[in-house]
Copies of this chain bind each other. A is one copy, B any other.
Amino acid sequence: MMTASTSPSAPFAGMMAAYMMSTPTLNDIHEAQDRIAGHAHRTPVFTSRSLNEQAGASLFFKCENLQRVGAFKFRGATNAVRSLADEDASKGVATHSSGNHAQALALAARERGIPAYIVMPQNAPAVKRAAVAGYGGEIILCESTLAARESTLSEVVRETGATFIHPYEHPMVIAGQGTAAVELLEQAPGLDMVITPVGGGGLLAGTAIAVKGLAPSIRVLAAEPAGADDAHRSLRDGQLHPSVDPQTICDGLLTSVGEIAFAVMQEHVERVVLVEDDAVVAAMRLIWERMKLVIEPSAAVPLAAILGDDLDVSGMRIGVILSGGNVDLGALPF
């Protein structure tokens, strides 16, 4: 583990300016497919008769919980890491995250043989630190404030020359996440609708670009916890609202939607359906019990929307991206 001070340095936003506003295309997603092939799994699509009966629709679950590191994040991280020129790559990659992106970036970097510097708050759970370290990530601890995380990350980048890989506000990350939807459309032909959860918006944006590029008639929706409804409010008002003090069991969906994702949402996403946490827990339990799949709460949000009264899905064929399966078995909500 290396250490770094938390003294202020170049502002975080400045580091991102170079690529920040570039929206990936379907072609970027096809290139990502080639880049991640042999590294990321082509995950299976599962169905469940009893969930179909309950929904009154045909549901096709794209099992990114069975992806490497247990989440779709490995697609975007691998694409970003493998997009780097050799000279840049040799200096490594860096990010701040205590979640699935941190593990994904650590493993993607290890597979390219380069270092990954992961800035994590000191109060991150030991199990998450152990997971990142297990994938070969070099952990730099900092105070648990956003300012400390950003300044620590800036310092790490300055000292090492590593390339910052943002968890979602990065075109190659978004393009990588979009590969799941390309596979889903091949595996489940004739869909009427695709639904993903939305947190930072990387999965949603990649999915929307892929789906609308390949089959514009397929509707793209997002599902979001009511206690972290920034994507819903942003799409409704036509302007980006940050996530303020989000309260939800969905620990993967606490972040604010990014600017790239918001632009894609405005163009391609029909609606953000809100669901309460108790509906999320019930949907999660259904998938565990009926499909025998371990998923994290964030991954259950789309099914909660489908089973709720707010969205009419009767008779439709719906693709659902089960985003991840990293959950603390010692602290389950049921």
Contact = CB atoms under 8 A, between A and B. Distances in A.
Interface of A: 44, 46, 65-66, 70, 285, 288-289, 291-295, 325, 329-330, 332, 334
A329 B285 contact: yes
A110 to B, nearest CB: 12
Contacts of A46: 66
A70 B330 contact: no
Contacts of A289: 294, 329
- The residue among A70, A293, A330 with the most chain B CB atoms within 10 A of its own CB is A293
A178 B224 CA distance: 45
A325 B288 CA distance: 9
A332 B334 CA distance: 10
B325 A329 contact: no
Contacts of A291: 66
A132 to B, nearest CB: 15
A66 B292 contact: yes
A329 B282 CA distance: 12
A293 B65 CA distance: 10
Nearest to A325: B292
9 contacts: A65-B292, A288-B294, A288-B329, A289-B294, A292-B293, A292-B325, A293-B294, A329-B332, A332-B332
Nearest to A290: B70
Contact of A70 (B65, B292, B332): B292
Given A66-B291, A292-B295, 11 more contacts: A44-B44, A65-B292, A66-B292, A70-B292, A289-B294, A292-B294, A292-B325, A293-B293, A329-B332, A329-B334, A332-B332
Nearest to A284: B329
Nearest to A296: B292
A212 to B, nearest CB: 29
A329 B334 CA distance: 7
A334 B331 CA distance: 9
A13 B249 CA distance: 54
A-B pairs with the 3 shortest C-beta distances? Answer: A292-B325, A292-B294, A65-B292
Nearest to A322: B292
